[in-house]
Structures are given as C-alpha cells and as structure tokens.
Structure 1
C-alpha cells in the first residue's frame, strides 16, 4: 500500500508537471539558432525568422530578442528555407539542411535598405556540420544510408562510422547483429526511433529483437537519417549508460516518390577462407566435398506522397530478407567409440531457412501551421530454423535437436506536435510488443548427448518471452526567456507501463548424456526441468528531466541538465526467501568459501526498497576560440543510469518454482553422492519425474540477489576541439567512462586452493550450487577519437563526393567475464583486465564519389581496420596457471601502413543509373571484403607450458583457429527510384 501511494504520487506529479513544463527534446527533431545582425555587426531585434520545410511547405516562425538571437526548435529533419525579414532591411534566405539531434548555429546579416517584405535574395548554404555542441556524436545522412555498402541492409552497420563503437560483423552464418560502445556490452545502449525507445528490458542485445537474431531491427528504406551519440548525451535520453542511436523515419511529401530494389547472393558468390579451403582440400581427397547450398534475396519497396497537398501525407515501406542455408551434421570425437546412431547421421544435410519481413507505415497530418499529427506503425516478423548442422556453430547437433526461432516486434505511435513562436510541445503515446520465441522442432523425443558434444534426439528447451511497453512521453521547448543571452529551457519526461510475461520451459524435455567410459551402455547423467515455467510481472518506469541550453554570448554555449529515473519493479522486491534456503545459508555460512553477509541476501518480503537514487546531472559547454567560430573547444561530464536485464534477475525466483535437476547414474547406487543405479524406467520424462516424486531428487541450485541491488551507472567525461576547414570538418576528442554496479554471479560453494588453483568445494546439503550476485562490477574506458568528415555534396554537372574517417585509440578494461564469473570475480585473471576482443586501434573510413565520365557510375566504399581483438596470454609453467585476460594481440599485417592491422575489411559498391522519363533505374554490384582478407580469431592463448619442470614457450601461441569475418562476397542488385 505504501509503495502504491508513492508511485501514484510520483505519476500524478509527472502528469501535473508535464503540461505546464517548458521543455524540448531532440529525440526525433533538430534545432536552428543564431543571431541576426546588420552588416556592421549591430544586433537587430524583432526580426521575423521563418523556416519553411521545402518538401511539405510547412512553416515555423519566431522573433529575435534584444540581442538579435533566435531559436527554432522541434524542426523535423529535412531541407528548409530559412528567411529573416524586417521592415527597413533587406530580407535574407538561407538554404539549411536540418539533421536529427543537431543544433545548427546560423547567423544572418540584414542590409539596412528599405525594401518590400516580399523581396528576398538567396545567399550561402548553411554548413551541414554541427560544431557548437558538447555531445560526442556522429550523424549518418540519407546519402550514406542509401549508398554505402553494407551486406544485409542493417542500418546498425553504419553505427561503425562513429568512433568508439563496435559493430558485430555481418556473416553468412552470423549469430546476430548488435553494436556496443566503450567498455560496456550491447545491453547498455538504447535506440530511439521517432522518439520511441526500443530498449530490450528482458534479455541481451540492447534493442528489442536483436538478441540472437540475424535480422534487422527496422526497414532501412524507412530510415531517413540517424545519429550515434557516444558521450555526454543530454538529459532527455533515458536507459543507456554507453551510447544511443536516435533515428527519424521518412515521411510523405508534396511529391509522390518511392523505390523498389532486389539484391541477390548465393554460394557461388562467396569465397572460402583459409580454414574452409583446407577442409575442402581434405574432403576432395576423400571424395566427399560438396559446396554447401546458400542463397539470400534482399528485396523491398517504398512509396510516399500527398493525400491532401500541404495537409495530409503518407509513407509506407516493406523489406524482406529471404535466406536458405544448408546445415550439415558432422560427428565429433573418436569415430571408433561413437555409437552407430551418431555415425549414421554423419554428413546428413537439412535446409535452414530464414525469413524476415519488415513493414512500416506513417500518416502525417498538419491541420494548421501550429499543429501536426503523426500516426506510425512498424512490424518485424522473423522465423529461423537453426541450431543444427553448423547453424550458430552447432556443427554436431542433429536437425531434430534444432529450433524454429520466432522473433516479433510490433510498434505503434501517435504523436502530436504543437508549435508557437517561442515554444514547441511534442506529446507521444506508443505501444510496443516484443516476443522472443525459440520453438523446438521436436519437443517430445528425449535428447541424447554423446562424447564430442554430439547431440541427437529432440530439443530440450522451449521459450516464449514477451515484453509489452505502453509509453507516454511529453517534450516541450520554451525559447522566450529574454535575459542573459539565448536560452532553450527544456523539461519533460516519460511514463512507461511495461509487462514481462516469461515462459521458460528450460530442460523440460530431458537430455540423457552417454559416455564412452561405459561403452555407452546406459546414460551417466540426465538433466530435467520441472515445475511452473511461467513468470509474469508489471513494471512502471518514470523519467523526468530538466535542461537549459544557454548561450550567454554568441561564442559560448552551456548545456546544464538533470534527469531522474525510477522503476517500481526493477527486480522482485516482494520476494520472500524460502525458509529451507534461509536456514541452510545461516547454518553453513561460516563454512562456505565465499564470505558474504547472508542477511543482505535473504528477505522476508519487506527488506528490499526501490531505488530512488538515479539522479543524473549532466553538464557541457562549447566555446568558439575565434570570432568566425571555426575553432570550437568543448567538453562535458555527466551521470547515466541504465537497467539490469530482467532475465538476469529472475533466477532467484525462477529456480525455486522451476528447478533443474541433474541426475547421476551408475551401475551401483551411491546415495551419499546422489547417484542412482540405472534402470530403463528412467529413460523418459515421466520416468525422471517419478524418480523425483519418490524422494530421489538431486540437489538444486540457489541464486541470491542483494536486497540493495542498484542499476548500472556510468560517469562520463570528455574534452575536445573541433575545427572547420571549409568543406572539411575535423574533431579531436578525449573521452573517459567509469562504469559501476555491473552484475556477475559468483559460486559461494567453490573456493581456490591455498596455492591459488581450482578448486575446493563445500556443498550445502540439498543445494548443488549457491550463486551469489556481485553488484559491484566496474569497467574503465579511456579513448582518443579523431574524426574528419567531408559531407557529400554535388559540385557541378552531376559530380559530387564525400568522405570521412573515424579513428579510435582506446583502452577498455573490466572485471569479471560476463553474467557468471567462476568461481568468483577475482579468480583466474577475472579482476581488472583488458577486455578480450577489444582493440587498441580502430579505423573506419567511408567514401562516396560520382564519376560522370566513367559512364555515370557512382562508387562508394566502407573500410574497417583494426589492431585486432585482444586475447588471453596464459602461463601453465608453474604450479598453478597464470591468466592474463586480454594480455595479447594478434599478428599484424599491412594495409596502407606495414604490419599495422590484424583486422582488414574493404567493402566496395558500384551503381550505374539508367535515366528514363524521370525515373532512375540502377544496377548495383557490392563486393564485401574485396581483397579476401583472412581476419583471424580463436587464437591459441597458451603462452608457456611446463616441460619437465622447465618453463617453455609455446610455439603455437597466438596461432588462429578460425576466422571472425567471411571471405570475399559478391552481391548483385537492381533498384528503381521514382
């Protein structure tokens, strides 16, 4: 009751404050601001400044203040004509391109000559770059989205254009597409599309739908542009502690337009890497080689235009991703010891089809120049038959043990924007349903596991995880404060009601493990889950923020903001620790190898309080060194809170209501070790359940969460300089991040031997393991970013070009491994260490050029270079192994610089357009990894061995065992634009 009253009060306060607030956010819009002066430099007050969106003829206007300052916020990204008028002065018109999330400073000069108000003269075009911001951000334009080469049309691929960002490489047999920033994993990012959060609360991936999916989060032909912010993002953005993406979708205009495309790739277009070529040579000698089948078709169409000119517009798009792969079961282990059932399946092939359908539709209604409505909806529907014969690395898994992965994300939004001369109010109501549903191909035949990891029979687990998010967001900007320079006061917030509906039938179809140690005579082990697999709860999320973007002088801008977030059900605050668990912990706490305060982890249902401390001050500034404002110093510092994933917090409850039981079998029973004498009656789910009911239940696991659990937090700080070289913009930035409150489970019942080796074990009776959550995991990130950008521009006679470079010099460190650190955070090099897979040096270059003299071809490239993912250097020469996590780098090779890069990838794209009656018909050719570089991974990490008591260097140390990117791939396509 008390908690309900607190939440009701907070929600009531939020709804009371929001309509009165003077707020503004740029989750889907941009801002133009500046000063209007005479030719002599005197400020001109009361100037009417208007912005007309060229595509829709929508107008926005404001007046300059006494200092001649103006601000136009809440502008939808696009092309504008910016006009300044006042009686007695010559009007001026500037062509401006507004980008999402940007604040562009456009100063205007009026000539003191009396003219008619209708007489205007177009002058220079405004620069596309944003320099006077304290954020560390990169904008990806429509031109780059359309024309840079990316293998699967996933717009997240282009997040790599921002320094400090790592994107999972697209692969033929890839296991998913995610991006991450700094020293934090993908779940610490957030993506906003048209102002709506796509945060994945329940599982990994950061974005709803991205956990273990090879599909795309959104149709690329519906994305107009997006912005990646990796440091010091403003207070209007929530639930992210590393980086965010803010994307805006396309809208219909006063002209009907659209496109259609198809791209094709198959197995003959894919080159083999070093290891595949070696395997082919071996198979060819044996006469058993066949090239695996593979095909992929990317296709889509979009169209938009006016239903009522200047008033009502429509835009819609569809993209399909149709793939077929061949899965081949390959038995592993000693063939002489494998049973006939395994060898009989060796070489069996099955098709692994992937189908993805992405749809988007938008209606834009502008009843007046002061009001606009947007109604949008998007749907992502995927199916993927996988986890067999090489799919997701499961080479020794039979087809029957696979799954049909169903992935669905559906989102609807209604947004109202109200415009005044000095304020903008944007209110949005959205609902999103995310469903993660791996469905077994066979969930009735018991699973069979053999030596070498060979897996036959049916699949063991079915999952159906659903997240529903109903969100109300209000953002409102006020720029009418006249004192102390130019202000943009912002206040706003969001209220989300989120439901988590979990059905995890973990190991409900039992798996029986056989071993050559008894000639596979009978299973030696069986794993089964039983009990209630469903868990459902609601969570209310409230966020409030206030911010002022203040320019006391034309050369100085201060960004001061604060944000507060709150959740009613971040984790199970009502949980009551079962009495048997409580009694066992207190009885055996002194004998457990891991010493922890048991009272901090057991609760009677009222010991846990919601976290109210997510107060996040954020401050930034930018200062123009020179009068022409071409050189800008900037910096910022801020606090950013995120959230723990729901799935990582439920085991405390879930393992009590749906425990997993691991049976051990032998020819003779050993009750003291929970070993049963094998009997054929156990060889089924019903048989194992009967063993449970007869009192032969083996011990289960216990998960413990601290009563004072905190959400992840990052402290970010940055300082840098930007300079405008005319058509080229450059920036040099230092950014640092210190992250806290990470989560990793430790084994309380395991400890290290006195010499530091593994491991002592002190089991609590009735419990196999006791896993205790450590909520103090830290990470450290220090980086230097270099950015050089020449935005694409048409010059003359159809010729244009653009290019960019992003270089990152970074050191990323963390504690632990992931959600589980065996046996504890400080063991085996799990303490502070450089993160395996992180790179010290990372370079991304992009370029786009029109070549009219070469038959009108357009060429583009995306080049990625890196010093290579770090890996462990392990020393096994002493009494106990020494682990140096992330202590080694792979061998380097040349590209432009000799022996500089371990990772090299060059993607190329050519397009030739045939123009006919106003339509563009183009043919395209993409060449991914054009030079067929082998980008290695799976490195041998044993640096030293023990050779009869002597320390011996391992000659195979650092040698690779796999590649982490595909070989050369060709893709052909065609596109029609109208």
Structure 2
C-alpha cells in the first residue's frame, strides 16, 4: 500500500482535501464495487463509497484532520489503513491491494509513507497547526508565516504596506504586531487573494484580508500559486487559503495571554530611548459537540468551535519634530546650506532662450516686506514653537500625543453532518478595532474605528459515489471611519489667514465646517485635519457552486460563482505642499531652493482638496471553470482546466449622489483620442446654481463627450485562462511535476481605481494642483497663492470652463485586466518517512500591468513651456493609469520539509529569483514605479520594487529530549517533571537588499511637466557607488554613507538622468526570532499549562534601511534614515491547553 498526499485538484471546494485511490487484487487487477469507508478520527463522522469499474474511489470535500480508511470486497480480507493526516487543499492518493480471504479477516497497515504530491503541479506550502500555534509571532498576526513559503518576497511597495495602522482603508491590524504584505512569485503586493475556509475574505480596497483569523482558531493554511487547477484564479500572485478549526467529539480549548512592555525591549539605534508602552493580547477558544442537556447531544453530528481575542495597546509618544525657528519665520534662512533666490525676480535669460534667471537673497536673508504675514500666522497657529535642538538632524519640538488601540475579535463555527450524504458548515468572524493616535502634530489627534465582518457557509450533497454537489455563500464587509482634528483648534484660523471657502469650506463629511489644511513644508513637521467615513470599504457577497463527477479515471468538476463589490466613502480634507524649486536657482540644480522660504513667500508648489461622497455601483466578478483530473496510469496524472473570468469594474457613483460633490456626475480623460468623457451629464450651471454642472448655458466645451452607457470603464470580455499540468511518479520516492497556465487579475486595486475619478469636472469635489508657480513663457513670476490655490480653475462654486486644466487620478477608459502566463517544472524527493525535498523552476511573463504616474507631459525634455510640447497641448499633465506594462519572473525554489515526529519539525525555503518589469511594480504611479518617460515605458525596465535576488527562511520546532518518555530521562518521575517538557522554536530569515532609485527631487529638472516627487528624473551615475568613502569621510556601508554619494551627479538641465531604475540595493537583511516553552502537564493526558518567552530579533541586530536617495536633499543623501528591522522585542505568554 502506498500513501501519497498531494495538492491535487480533485476537490469540491478550495479549502477542502480529498482522498482517492485504486483498489486492486493480489494480481494487480482492479477491483470494482469494493466498499471503502473513510472515518474522521476526531469526530467519528464516516463516509462510504464504492470503487467504480476502473477500481477508482474518491472522497471529496474533506476538511483537514486525522482520518482512517477501510476497504472490503467479497472474497477478500478487509484492509484497514491506520490513522493519517490530511492537510488543507491536499489529495491523499491511497492505492489499496486486497488479499484473498474472508471479509471478517482484518489486515491493518501503516500510513507512515511521506506525503508526496502525485496528482498535481501547483506550488504551495502547508503551514500546519503546530507551526501556527508554536512558532514565535510578534502580535500574533498570521501573515508573518507567509514568508515560510518559497517564492514569497516579504517586502512591500504598496500603499497598504502597513495595513490599517497607516490609515487609508487598511485591514485591521494590531499596532504592536508584525504584518507582512508580500509579493508572491514575481507579482505585485496587491495581486494576492485571501480565503477563509475556501470562501472570500478579501478587502477589495486594501487588497488584503478583510477580517484577520485568530491564530488559535487556525487549523492550517496554504499559499497556492502557479496552480494547474482552474478552480483557483482571479489573482496573479498567491491565494492564501486559511482553514479554521472545527469542533470534535471531545471538548478542547485554550486560554492565553501575551504581554509586552517597555522593560522587555531594546532601544532602536536611531532613538534616544525606548518609548514607554504596554501591550496585552489575551483570549480563549473552546470547541466540541453541541450538547443541550436532556434535549440534544451532537456527538458524531453537530460540532462548534468558538474563539475570542482581545488586544489592548497604550504607547506614550515622544516623537521628535522639526519646526521653523522664530528667526527663520522672520526671514533669516542663513542656516540653509545653499543659496536661495527670489522667485518674484524670475525673468527670461536673454543669453539662453527658454531658460530663466533669478536674483539671490543676500546672505539668505528674506526681506520682511516679502514675507507674507498670513503664512506666518498659519504656521504659528498649527505648529508648536521651536525649542532647543534635540538631535543631529535639527529636531526641535516634541509631540507627546499617546497612542491607544482597543481591539476585539470573534470567531464561531458550526459543523453539521446530516448522515453521509449532506454536510453543512457556517462560520462568523468579526473584528472591532478602535485606534487613537497622533495626527503628526501636538494637539492633532486621529481617532479611527475599523470594524470588519465575514460570514461563510457551505453545503455539500453527495448524490452517489460518483457525483457530489457543493454550494457556498460568503459575505464580507469592512469599514474604516476616522477623524483627524485639533483638540484645541486655533480660533478663526481660516478667516485670520484668509483661506478661501473654495479651499477649506463646505466639507461634506465634516458637516460643512472648515477644516484646517496641512501646511506641507517639505522637511518640516506637518499635519492637517481630515474626516474619512468609509461605511463600505469592502461590501461584497459571494455565491458559488460546483458539481464533481467521477467517470472511470477522470474526476470532472464544473463550477462557477459571482462575487459582488461595492464601495462608499464620504471624505474631506485640504492640504498644501511647499518645495524648494520656487526659491532655487533655475540655472543650477545644485542650488535646489528652500521649502521654508517658499512657504514664507506664499509660493506653493501644490495643493489638494477632496470634498467627496465616493460611491460605486454594483461591480464584481463572474467566474466559470471546468476541470478534468485524469489518472492516466498508476504513475501518471494529468490536469486540464479552462477558466473564464468576467470582471465588472464597479462604475463610479450611484444615482443617489446626483447633485452631490464627489457624486456620479464626473468624468475621465481618454488620451487615445484627446477627449474628455463625462459619465453622467449634469444640468447647466445657470440652472442648478452649483457644481457639479456644465458651465454657462450647458454647451459642452470642445473635445468633451458624454458616454451613453453612463459609466467610464469598458469591461474586458476575453479573459479565458487554460491550465494544464502533470505529475509523474518515478518509483515510490520521487515525483516529477510540471504545469502551465494563464491567469487574470480581477481584484487588485479595482475599487481604488474606480473611486479615483471622484469629484472631477464638471464637479469640483476633488481638486489637485501640482507644479504651481514654476516659471513659464506665459508667466515667469509666481501667480498662485496658498490662500486660494485653485483660483485659476473656477470660482469656488462652479467648475472651470473646460476640464483640461485639472489634475486628477485618471485612468484609461479602455484599461484591461492584467494577466500572467505562468509555468513551473520540478521534482520532489522523499528522503525518509517524514522528510521531503522539493526543487522547482518557476517562471512567468505578465502583461497588461498597471503603469501610472504623470501623462501628457512633454514628449522630450527641453526649454520652454512643457505643455506646448505635449501630445495634446490643450490638456494639462495629469495622473493616468494604463494597462501597458510587462513583467518577467524566473526563479529556482527549493523547499525541505520535515514533518513533526520524534519531537522535531522544520522547513527550509530558499528562493533564487529575478523579477523585472517596466515601471509596473504596483499601481497609480506611487507603488515602486518611478517611470522616467511615459512614452518610452521600456526605458524604465528594471528590477521590480519587490525584487529580492536571494530569500531564505528556516523554521524549526524542537522538543528538548529530556524528561519522562524522552531519550534522556533521570528515571525519577519528580525530577523528570522538573527538567522535562521544554521546547525551542525558531524562525530565521535572510534576504537580499531592497531595490531603490537615486533621483533628483527638488524640481522638474527635465522640464517635461512631471511631478518631481515621483522619482522620475534619476541621477547620473559617474562612479562606483559601492566603494571608497563619502565626502563626509565616512566609509561606504556606514550609517552616514550607505553608498558613495560622489558616484552620482545631478543631470544637466533639460535631460533625464542615466542611472537605471531600481539599480541599487539597500543593505542585506537577516533576522532570528526565537521562543522557548515550558509545559506543565496537569489533570490527565492532553492538558497542560504552557509558559512562553519569545524574542524577536533575539540578537538585536541592526539592519540599516534604505538610505536617503534624493540627490537634491544633501542633508540625508546617502545616509541611513532608520533601520529595516525593529530592535529586539521580548514577549512573555501563558497558555492553558485542555
């Protein structure tokens, strides 16, 4: 008898496993109509089937757990297969050879043979219950375990890298926990999908989970990628498939508490002390048969499992801030390291047509008559006064606003077996997270609430031994409601300063109240008021089903489903940004200017206002698939599948928002023909009297059209994804596997892209201005004031005459789903009864990736007005997302897996890989992109923002073999009790450094109309950045000289730099987390009290982070700004297990 467990596709649900095999007689001939019974050892639930004419039998829709198998037929002795473990999404292939004899004769055989994958070729690693429970996890967030899988890059360039802690519609995450938002097999951080019990648990805005599972309620989980099963799809990266625990026939439970505080932690190298904090994480779980005294006993039939977890966190705050001094606010900028210039003296350079010159401020002293007293009043009203200098970077103020988080999580699951033909389960998961933290300034407090809910239900009906039906339903919701407000706002600041009502007034989410904008002085502390109510960050329903039919050697599955998607968010805020370019030398980029001087002179670089009621109409995904798993021979299995995905991009705006700012009456640019597309036509401004409206009498401006469909996006209808895979067994210890397929990304950033066009013309709900007050042929001197930064675009009540001078987060109306052609080939070898080694080549070619950033910039760098050199000169440069990016990934992935036995378990995962793309490592131009030239995307081809050349993770569980029943025993029961029951657990990770650019960010040096903060203009490479020392004398690799800054030069004006995109790396990373347990058995077998001590970064290793990479910022260029890891943290815990 051979037992081989596989991640096969003979499954009726995405989280379930299956058991299959062939029944044979002693001659090797198949035995038809043999009775085969499978029993769950923990629940005693039995399933019985018969082998078909080909001798095949299949059990489908099995949860992970311990099982036993029995087979019998007339004229043969009954054969029993001893207990074996079935993991999530696995197929146990158990071929049974019957012996001649009476059915009353019973032959029992072992199931110790290692678990090789002999039925599919997908990639993935099962993280088992013991690993989930015992490995050290900082904050008990399960995503830390994702890095144990080959192909997982545990770094993120996405906006949601910090989850809910960073705000912005994030997933609920405990403040003190580690959180990994990985890139899987060369795909973007957003290109993963999260399932709980095989059902949707995906936050469609944040692109991560909606409700985090409680660690002690996890049975096990698996990251599935590059699968040959058409049941999986809709994302290019990994499907994270978490299975929760079910109750059994015995009552079991746990209770726990984990504690962290100031005394346990080491000091961060860049901080003067450990910030005082207290963290408590506690909870309990309990499960078993449902029992109602004298009424009902659910043994063998009805089971429950309940878990609760609470989290409490309080942290004092001593954040150091840099604020302007009184002398600086009076115009004394003599401490600024380079010369600053008077923007009001800007004039064309008569000797160099197309260039400009300015007069310097002598001694960097700004004349008092040029300082805008209103700006001084503004900054004095919101920023704290400057004190003495507190550190080497000039910080001179402290924010002491404390941080608090209160979080409660719940999980309840019910499993019901109605005989052998019908089973059902229901699960409800919930989280409520309340967070209070600093808004960035003293007295500016952010209060947020992030509740989430996830429901899941599944029904399985077995018609007969060859036909099984499953129907599933899931409901997922998330909210993210927050308000950042001054506790004691400066009285009448808006009127004192004189901000226009079109900039700071009439906010929807704030009830019309004025909100204090953020001053946004680059290099100085900043913060402003905002209100974000997101009642529907995620709002989805999932209905799915599949039908599986066994036909001789084929397992055929036909299925599909529909998942809805909605979004809603009233949002209000205003902000300013001041850069150095307006007070820099337009002839010399080495004199980039002073942002504070620009502020005092009231010459802003940019502004942003959002006053919107964001909504989307019904969107979602429809999927259909057919799968054939063919067991061609006893050694060879094939999988063939075809999947069709139809994404319904949620159309922006509902009819309920007609007439509202940020409502359905908005538009988008189509740069394929230079038109502006209005989604829903509002009445003329002369009729409605307020925006949104069409200016004047309602006549549409030139190049403006209305989409008769009432929506902007055009859905893609051709997303067909074939799959093929094989597994071939070479003897009993080796399996060859290979697979290829095409997958589509239907979920990444779909909600955020839909809402990006909110408030656009003919609305005024979202106003964005960039590159303000830059000299041009039409106006050399500044023209825009921070008090009314959008004055040139409209009157404050009405939109501008045309839509073509606005800056918005537009997207191509014909944007298409990204897709990836994926392939893998590998070999798995069993080393012994508990250990396997798996070696795979993994590759992919991804197409139609998102490329964002500014578009309709000048076609080439050069002097003069850049807009005049754009493809459509009547349209201002703006953000624009297109599906034109390409990416490639190639990797060698090696995994060694030792299952837990004899007190030891370990996994080793190593990946040698290279991920390359064309400025398309994420979304919207802000996630690892930095596109130099939007008309030459291939010119920005380089390592992906998440590319890690080498990645290694090793985890180990080791029970020290001392004590009763162990290898080393004192032979004294009392002494054995004292010295025994110790366990050590480790997670070791090491990886290459993260890619980064070196760029010039002070101004639009190439003069293309691009925004400087997008890292688009990379520096010139003129030397070796990896050798020598910096001009400050520090050797390369030290804190103040991560790379040789002399190896870079500022590009000449009107040129692009020549250094490559993501051509440089931060320092390599390694870390060791360790825990040690002491267990005290009590009151019989299986009951114990466990004390834990866990150390994260146990050796307190300092790994320097990505250095300052803006060559125009001399104070930080080439220097480490912090660490890539945390200083050592200790966590103590106690746990009762029964």
> How far has the Cα of 1:775 moved from its partner?
1.2
Counterpart pick for 1:109 among 97, 108, 114: 97
Does 2:424 match 1:319? no
1:550 matched residue in structure 2: 630
What is aligned with 1:804?
907
- 1:782 corresponds, among 890, 893, 897, to 890
Establish whether residue 405 from structure 1 lines up as the match of residue 393 from structure 2. Answer: no
Task: Show the 5 A alignment for 1:761-780.
Answer: 769-780=877-888
> Which position in structure 1 is the counterpart of 2:352?
none
1:437-516 matches, cutoff 5 A: 437-442=481-486, 445-449=515-519, 451-455=521-525, 458-464=528-534, 466=536, 467-479=538-550, 481-482=551-552, 486-507=553-574, 516=596
Alignment partner for residue 621 of structure 1, among 713, 726, 732?
A: 726
CA distance in 1, matches of 2:673, 2:467: 62
Matched, 1:100 2:88: yes
* Closer/same/farther in 2, CA of residues 737 and 582 from structure 1, 3 Å limit: closer
Residue number among 283, 286, 293 corresponding to 2:276 in the alignment: 293
Please say if 1:907 is aligned against 2:1073.
yes
Query: What is the correspondence of 1:416-435 to structure 2 with a 5 Å cutoff?
Result: 416-419=459-462, 420-435=464-479
The answer to whether the 8 A contact 1:557-1:621 is kept is: yes
Question: How far 1:545 moved relative to its partner?
Answer: 0.6
- The TM-score, its normalising length taken from structure 1, stands at 0.82
Counterpart contact for 1:829–1:883, Cα < 8 Å? no
Q: Is 570-579 or 700-709 further displaced after alignment?
A: 570-579
> Could you tell me which residue of structure 2 aligns to residue 897 of structure 1?
none
- 3-state SS in 1 of match to 2:136: coil
Residues in 1 aligned to 2:844 and 2:476: alpha-carbon distance in whole angstroms: 31
Shift of 1:581: 9.5
Q: Hey, what does 1:871 align to over in structure 2?
A: 996
> For residues 362 and 672 of structure 1, do their structure 2 counterparts lie closer, same or farther at Cα, with a shift above 3 Å needed?
same
**1:173-211 superposed Cα distances (whole Å, 9 cap, x missing partner):** 77954222122222111111112122332x2333336xx
Query: Structure 2: how far apart are the matches of 1:340 and 1:334?
Result: 9
| 1:232–1:718 Cα contact (<8 Å) kept | no
CA contact (8 A) 1:730 1:787 kept: yes
- Where does residue 813 of structure 1 map in the other structure? 916
Q: What secondary structure is seen at the aligned counterpart in 2 of 1:701?
A: coil
Classify 1:583/1:120 alpha carbon distance in 2 versus 1 (closer, same or farther; 3 Å).
closer
Q: How far apart, CA to CA, are the structure 1 residues paired with 2:771 and 2:953?
A: 53
What corresponds to 1:969 in structure 2? 1129
Partner in structure 2 of residue 831 of structure 1 = 940
Q: Whole-Å Cα distance in 2 between the matches of residues 294 and 707 of structure 1?
A: 49
Give the secondary-structure state (helix, strand or coil) at the position aligned to 1:337: helix
Query: Residue 926 of structure 1 aligns with which residue?
Result: 1094
Q: How many Å apart are 1:255 and its aligned residue? A: 0.5
TM-score, normalised to structure 2's length?
0.71
How does 1:846-861 map onto structure 2 within 5 Å? 846-853=955-962, 855-861=980-986
1:70 maps onto 2:238 in alignment: no
Asked if the contact 2:128–2:219 (Cα under 8 Å) also holds between the matched residues in 1, the reply is yes
Equivalent residue, structure 1, for 2:346: none
Other structure's SS at 2:43 match? coil
Q: Which residue of 2 aligns with 1:8?
A: none
Tell me which structure has the larger Cα radius of gyration: 2
Task: Give a deviation string over 1:501-549, Cα, whole Å, max 9, x none.
Answer: 2323343x88999964378476857845366433231114211110011
Counterpart CA distance in 1 for 2:984 and 2:671 is: 67
How far apart in 1 are the matches of 2:518 and 2:675? Answer: 39
1:885 corresponding residue in structure 2: 1061
Q: Distance in 2 between matches of 1:736 and 1:801?
A: 33
Distance 1:527 1:941 in 2: 24
Contact 2:10–2:629 (8 Å) recurs in 1? no
Q: Is the 8 A contact 2:549 2:556 kept in 1?
A: yes
C-alpha distance in 2, partners of 1:802/1:583?
Answer: 57
Q: Is the 8 A contact 2:277 2:314 kept in 1?
A: yes
Q: How far is 1:928 from its partner?
A: 0.9
C-alpha change, 1:384 and 1:120, in structure 2 (3 Å) is: same
Q: 2:128 and 2:299 mapped to 1: Cα distance?
A: 26
Tell whether the 8 Å contact from 1:752 to 1:760 is kept in structure 2 after alignment: no
Distance 1:274 1:518, change over 3 A: closer
Is it true that 1:80 corresponds to 2:67 in the alignment?
yes
Give the total of aligned pairs.
Answer: 882
CA distance in structure 2 between the aligned counterparts of 1:674 and 1:963, rounded to whole angstroms: 42
Q: Determine if the alignment matches structure 1 residue 186 to structure 2 residue 352.
A: no
More strand by share: 1
CA distance in 1, matches of 2:616, 2:675: 30
Secondary structure of the 1:146 match is: helix
Match for residue 712 of structure 1? 818
In structure 2, distance between residues paired with 1:24 and 1:100: 11
Gaps of 5+ in 1: 1-21, 210-216, 281-289, 389-396, 588-597, 892-901, 946-953
The 1:674/1:463 distance shift into structure 2, 3 A limit, reads: farther
- Looking at structure 1, the residues matched to 1102 and 996 of structure 2 have their Cα atoms a distance apart, in angstroms, of 17
Q: Cα gap change, 1:399/1:431 in structure 2, threshold over 3 Å: closer, same or farther?
A: farther
1:7 — aligned with what?
none
Deviations 1:890-934 (A, max 9, x none): 45xxxxxxxxxx211111111111111032101001111111112
Q: 1:205 aligns with which of 204, 207, 218?
A: 207
Summarize deviations over 1:420-474 as a string: whole Å, max 9, x none: 3223222112211122333323465513426344455642352425121111111
Q: Deviations over 1:248-276 (max 9, x none)?
A: 11111111110011111112222124333
CA RMSD of aligned residues (A): 3.9
Cα-to-partner distance string for 1:65-116 (whole Å, 9 max, x where unaligned): 3443222221111101111112322222222211111112112222212241
The 2-side partners of 1:579 and 1:802 are apart by: 56
Query: How far did residue 304 of structure 1 move?
Result: 0.4
Distance in 2 between residues matched to 1:436 and 1:266, nearest whole Å: 28
1:701 CA displacement: 1.7
